[in-house]
Amino acid sequence: MAPLPRATSATERSSTARRRIQEYQVTERLIVIGGDAAGMSAASQARRLKGPDELEILAFERGRFTSYAACGIPYWIGGLIGERDELVARAPEVFREKQSIDVRTGHEVVGIDTGARTVTVRDLAAGEEAEHAYDQLLVATGATPLRPPVPGIDADGVFGVQTLEHGQKVLDALADRDPQRAVVIGAGYIGIEMAEAMLLRGLEVHVVEMADQPMSTLDPEMGDLVADAMRRMGMHLHLGVAVEGIATGEDEWIRGVVTADGTLEADIAVLGTGTRPFSDLAADAEIPIGPSRGIVTDRRQRTPVDGGWAAGDCAETFHRVSRSPVSIALGTIANKQGRIAGLNLGGSYSAFPGVLGTAVTKVCEMEIARTGLGETAAQAAGFEVVAETIKGTTRAHYYPDATPITIKTVAERGTGRLLGAQIVGREGAAKRIDVFATALWNEMTVDDLLNVDLSYAPPFSPVWDPILIAARKVDGAVRAAGL
């Protein structure tokens, strides 16, 4: 605000003061905790709807970066992406200069007082703490890697890969120590992506997974296809094996991963055990946490606490098929929820419609995707199911580079409602999951899906796209199963 002008009369002074008070009262302050996808999407969206005179936006990020693509970290480590900054969508100074969003990196929010509507913020460089008042608070603190609670898990050389700082540490370790053997602990998305990265870096790769299959979000027979492919790529899989500890040398750097089956030598280890919502700060402030450990939100991304909002990996949302509360750590969901929180914070109305658990990844040339519920998950959600698996090709069988694709489709018995699909294949296979996702979104039956007018030309699909073949097969099984 400009300094008060020299007033020429008491009336003018009084009028100016009243205007100021009014301005002051209508300027709200939004504080955002977390400067990545959800937080900064929300801040940007809110700013588009409300200018700085109406809404002051202050964002605290404990790291050095804002709006970065955490999902790109394995590819950066694997050497497919040259520069770290390519992963940064928008730097803090851009938010400040272009959008009047006051982003403070290196600032960690250490406490929330929802009654007083204040947050306590530590300046990590200066080591000082300060309180900041808010009118609206968006918690976008993301996810934190699940670390198996075993001795030595915090040893040097054991890395999570959730932030750019983590990624840089792995790259530094690769450069400084020239490790020969990597052990990846956990074979979920991040685990298999990191296994690929380590393989691309020329390391011998071992993957330890407690379950009997990699990708436990797939049904077992689909997970087996992934395991076979990983082995053919030269990775060593240790399935059904629990990690019991980390062995270190005198320098406290990792030397091995201790399992029930013995110790796997390791010059470096990466945690691919998944994440959990990093909702601790909200929990400490008694903002309600749901069964998935995410912060409870309504469809507008509001928490049950007045003035409190949450979005992204730290927030709980709604699964459209299982109807259960779920937390899913995925950039695309974080961006969508952030946008919706921002629209609402900006005075508009927007509702997040929930998720399907759609996910895609690859390990070298093998593509993997899923959406909705697998057979086991659907049964757990109370559905009686019919499931079928088909093998097809991504292109007409006679066209060059037609590659195999396997699709498992799950439908509800009786109604034939599509409940989920899983795809394992090669180039051109996985993105087909989006058709299943769109079908699930609309609660289609497999009977309706099998006639959808999907595109066809020999370089793109067989005359019956594998999706339609999958729908046809499970439709037949639904009919055979009867009511």
Encoded tokens for 288: 């309600």
What is the pairing mode between strands 118-123 and 107-113?
Answer: antiparallel
Q: Is 369 in the site for a copy of itself (CB under 8 A)?
A: yes
Give the burial class of 45: count Cβ atoms within 10 A of its Cβ; 0-12 exposed, 13-18 middle, 19 or more buried: buried
State the minimum distance, in angstroms, from the CB of residue 418 to a copy of itself.
Answer: 11
Report the distance separating Cα 466 and Cα 362, nearest Å. 19
The one among 44, 303, 335, 389 contacting a copy of itself by CB under 8 A: 335
Q: Which is nearer to a copy of itself, 81 or 247 (CB)?
A: 81
The one among 7, 21, 26, 80 contacting a copy of itself by CB under 8 A: 80
* SS3 state at 289: strand
Kindly state the DSSP code that residue 39 receives in the 8-state scheme. H
Sheet holding 254-259, edge to edge: 243-248, 254-259, 262-265
Residue of 71, 173, 199, 474 marked catalytic: 71
Judge contact between 334 and 36, C-beta under 8 A: yes
Ranges within 107-166 binding a copy of itself (CB under 8 A): none
State the minimum distance, in angstroms, from the CB of residue 399 to a copy of itself.
Answer: 6
Q: How many CA atoms lie within 13 A of 238 on its CB side?
A: 19
The one among 9, 176, 398, 483 contacting a copy of itself by CB under 8 A: 398
Q: Is 437 in the site for a copy of itself (CB under 8 A)?
A: yes
Q: Is 459 in the site for a copy of itself (CB under 8 A)?
A: yes
Amino acid identity of residue 476, one-letter, is: G
Q: Is 16 in the site for a copy of itself (CB under 8 A)?
A: no
Range in contact with a copy of itself (rule: CB under 8 A) among 12-20, 95-103, 411-419, 449-457: 449-457
State the minimum distance, in angstroms, from the CB of residue 361 to a copy of itself.
Answer: 5
The one among 13, 27, 75, 245 contacting a copy of itself by CB under 8 A: 75
Q: Is 469 in the site for a copy of itself (CB under 8 A)?
A: no
Q: Could you give the string, one character per residue 171-190, with x where binding to a copy of itself holds by CB under 8 A and - elsewhere?
A: ------------------x-
Q: Is 86 in the site for a copy of itself (CB under 8 A)?
A: yes
Q: Which is nearer to a copy of itself, 110 or 456 (CB)?
A: 456
Encoded tokens for 101: 């969003």
The one among 123, 265, 448, 481 contacting a copy of itself by CB under 8 A: 448
What is the pairing mode between strands 107-113 and 317-318?
Answer: unpaired
State the minimum distance, in angstroms, from the CB of residue 52 to a copy of itself.
Answer: 23
Q: Is 46 in the site for a copy of itself (CB under 8 A)?
A: no
Report the distance separating Cα 323 and Cα 82, nearest Å. 42
Please count the other Cβ atoms lying within 10 Å of the Cβ belonging to residue 149: 6
State the minimum distance, in angstroms, from the CB of residue 414 to a copy of itself.
Answer: 18
State the minimum distance, in angstroms, from the CB of residue 324 to a copy of itself.
Answer: 15
State the minimum distance, in angstroms, from the CB of residue 46 to a copy of itself.
Answer: 16
Place of tokens 């851009």: 94
Q: Is 364 a catalytic residue?
A: no
Report the distance separating Cα 319 and Cα 325, nearest Å. 6
Q: Is 292 in the site for a copy of itself (CB under 8 A)?
A: no
Judge contact between 46 and 140, C-beta under 8 A: no
Four-residue CA torsion sign, 42, 43, 48, 51: positive
Report the distance separating Cα 289 and Cα 314, nearest Å. 10
Q: Is 361 in the site for a copy of itself (CB under 8 A)?
A: yes
State the minimum distance, in angstroms, from the CB of residue 468 to a copy of itself.
Answer: 8
What is the pairing mode between strands 243-248 and 254-259?
Answer: antiparallel
Report the distance separating Cα 185 and Cα 83, nearest Å. 26
Range in contact with a copy of itself (rule: CB under 8 A) among 170-178, 208-216, 378-386, 428-436: 428-436
Sheet holding 418-425, edge to edge: 359-363, 366-372, 418-425, 404-412, 385-393
Q: Is 45 in the site for a copy of itself (CB under 8 A)?
A: no
What is the pairing mode between strands 418-425 and 366-372?
Answer: antiparallel
Four-residue CA torsion sign, 76, 81, 85, 88: negative
The one among 87, 143, 195, 269 contacting a copy of itself by CB under 8 A: 87
Q: Is 58 in the site for a copy of itself (CB under 8 A)?
A: no
> For residue 197, what is the enclosing H or E element?
helix 189-200
The one among 371, 389, 409, 422 contacting a copy of itself by CB under 8 A: 371
State the minimum distance, in angstroms, from the CB of residue 433 to a copy of itself.
Answer: 5
Residues at the interface with a copy of itself (CB under 8 A): 37, 69, 71-72, 75, 80-81, 86-87, 189, 320, 330-333, 335-336, 340, 352-362, 367, 369, 371, 396-400, 428, 430-435, 437-439, 441-442, 444, 448, 451-461, 463-465, 467
